[in-house]
Homo-oligomer: A and B are copies of this chain.
Amino acid sequence: MIKASIIGANGYTGLELMNILSAHKDAAVTHLVSVSNAGTPVTDIYPSLVDYRDKCFETLDIDKISDGSDVIFSCLPHSASAEICSAFFNRGKKIIDLSADFRYKSLDVYEKTYKVTHPDKELLNKAVYGLPELYRKKISSSSIVGNPGCYTTSSILPVYPLLKEAVVDADDIIIDAKSGTSGAGRKAEISGLFAEVNENFKAYSVAVHRHTSEIEQELSIAAGKDVAVSFTPHLLPINRGILSTIHLKLKKNRSADDIYDLYMKYYGTEPFVIISKDKLPSINSVKYGNYISIGFVVDKRLNRLIVISCLDNLIKGASGQAVQNMNIMFGIEETEGLKFQPRHI
């Protein structure tokens, strides 16, 4: 039984980790750290977590938690997370960090994007980018994984094969992404109030969102050259889910069959990637599941390709993917604990 502890467990990614891990056959949750809620029963904050009726949030006692853990999931904010991850890594624990701290291959890009000094540059070099569909093998032999962002997973997976095979123009990638509100976390802010979000819709961080550099890192690898993308995020009045509409230019004429075959070549055996030829995915085809669903339209009139990808930002975009990474790191079945279906309603 893998002993798993969660640091920063009181937020929404912690909530999802607790939910997924409670049904995982080979893992058990040992410590749930939330400094601000230490001593509080988990079900005081999340009554839905009935399997945690006997557990309380704890303070951050690194030695104690190390003793009782094989793997640490960090749900802390960037910068704060790296410091804590360092401490656990040095005690021989496997680390899955849900912050941005271990996602970057370039220290410079990380520090420019997040405007901080990285607390442990050496560890950054050891980390693997936790996108199983691209880095499964490296993840399996790594002890530290930087779990990808929600927007980035929904952007990289659909575009990667198209650039790798030079099917679309690498200089003309427009990602128009829409996310549910849980992506903003569980923070007391007026802008997050129900009456401010409900019956509303808006773009934000246009041309400056931090996930852009993370997307560009991976798409540049795919293209074999520096790629810059135009990324525009929006806030949807729904609890969970991301839909990314990706506007691409075909380099030459391609049929829908061509595109479908290409995707199947890359993802045909992937357990959590769904490729559709004739239908477009919607949020309700993926919410509450660990799947990314990809559909597309070839616009022959304009020689364009419009790709739609959907995932649940808290699951395939965060905690589900983190458990998928854990499974790979510990050599157990990759889909363990993640086979639940999405919920249409």
Is the pair A284, B200 in contact by a Cβ cutoff of 8 Å?
Answer: yes
Given known A239-B195, A283-B201, contact A345–B47 (CB-CB < 8 A): no
Contact with B along A276-292 (1 / 0, CB 8 A): 00011111111111010
The 8 Å CB contact of A47, one of B194, B281, B299, is B281
Is the pair B188, A12 in contact by a Cβ cutoff of 8 Å?
Answer: no
Is the pair A243, B201 in contact by a Cβ cutoff of 8 Å?
Answer: yes
Chain B residues near A288 (CB-CB < 8 A): 288, 343
Chain A, 161-199, CB within 8 A of any chain B CB:
172, 174, 176, 178, 180-182, 186-190, 192-199
Q: Does A135 reach chain B (CB closer than 8 Å)? A: no
Q: Does A38 reach chain B (CB closer than 8 Å)? A: no
Complex formed: what's the CA distance from A2 to B201 in Å? 37
Q: Does A80 reach chain B (CB closer than 8 Å)? A: no
- Interface centre among A181, A182, A186, A302, by most chain B C-beta atoms within 10 angstroms, is A302
Is the pair B243, A283 in contact by a Cβ cutoff of 8 Å?
Answer: no
Complex formed: what's the CA distance from A15 to B186 in Å? 26
Chain B residues near A230 (CB-CB < 8 A): 247, 299, 302, 304, 306
A51 to chain B, nearest CB (A): 6
Is the pair A344, B202 in contact by a Cβ cutoff of 8 Å?
Answer: no
Q: Does A142 reach chain B (CB closer than 8 Å)? A: no
Contact with B along A202-238 (1 / 0, CB 8 A): 1110110000000000000000000010101010111
Complex formed: what's the CA distance from A25 to B275 in Å? 28
A15 to chain B, nearest CB (A): 6
Chain A to chain B: the 8 pairs with minimum beta-carbon distance, closest first: A202-B282, A47-B285, A194-B197, A207-B299, A48-B342, A176-B176, A48-B344, A200-B284
26 residue pairs bridging A and B, Cβ less than 8 Å apart: A23-B339, A44-B279, A48-B289, A172-B172, A174-B247, A181-B193, A182-B345, A186-B195, A188-B193, A193-B193, A194-B197, A194-B237, A199-B241, A199-B287, A199-B345, A202-B281, A202-B282, A202-B284, A203-B245, A204-B280, A206-B308, A228-B301, A230-B299, A230-B302, A230-B304, A232-B247
